[in-house]
Amino acid sequence: MYVNSAVVVGNLTSDPRISEGENKVVNFRVGVNRWRKPGQEAGEEVKERTEFIDVECWGSQAEHISASLRQGNRVIVSGQLKYDQWTDEGGNFKSRISIKASAVGPSLEFQAITV
């Protein structure tokens, strides 16, 4: 049995872009921060690295995402990994891994609680 599944939590790097036309598709990028703990050396700082994940979502969910999410929003994305490869105008081989989302929603992990 093979499973192609991914879940990421991160922040939108820009407003989602929705396509015009009959079949709606929204594209956006999520920035995911990765932390590396300090080593054994005294005074070594925690290192931060940001990974950028391209996401696409189709149909009515694409319209909902476009209408409700904005740059900086923290989101949870669940879906299938998608591998694309192509050759650019300069003849250079390019590839990327993205997520074809089945579920996208706001993450409440760092939201302030107001009563």
Residue 17 sits in a domain whose CATH number is: 2.40.50.140
46 within 8 A of 33, measured Cβ to Cβ = no
Average pLDDT of span 91-103: 93
Q: Is residue 20 part of a domain?
A: yes
Q: Is residue 14 part of a domain?
A: yes
Q: By residue range, what is the domain housing residue 54?
A: 6-106
Which residue type is seen at 34?
R
Both tokens of residue 79?
Answer: 């879906």
pLDDT of residue 108: 79
Q: Are strands 93-106 and 47-58 parallel, antiparallel or unpaired?
A: parallel
Distances (CA, A) of 83 to 26, 59, 97: 18, 21, 5
Q: Which helix (H) or strand (E) holds 6?
A: strand 6-12
Please tell me the total count of domains within the chain.
Answer: 1
CA-CA distance, 110 to 115, in Å (whole number)? 16
Per-residue pLDDT reduced to its tens digit, 19-77: 888 889 999 999 998 876 666 566 667 777 889 999 999 988 999 999 999 999 999 99
Confidence of residue 115 (pLDDT cuts 50, 70, 90): low
Q: Is residue 111 part of a domain?
A: no
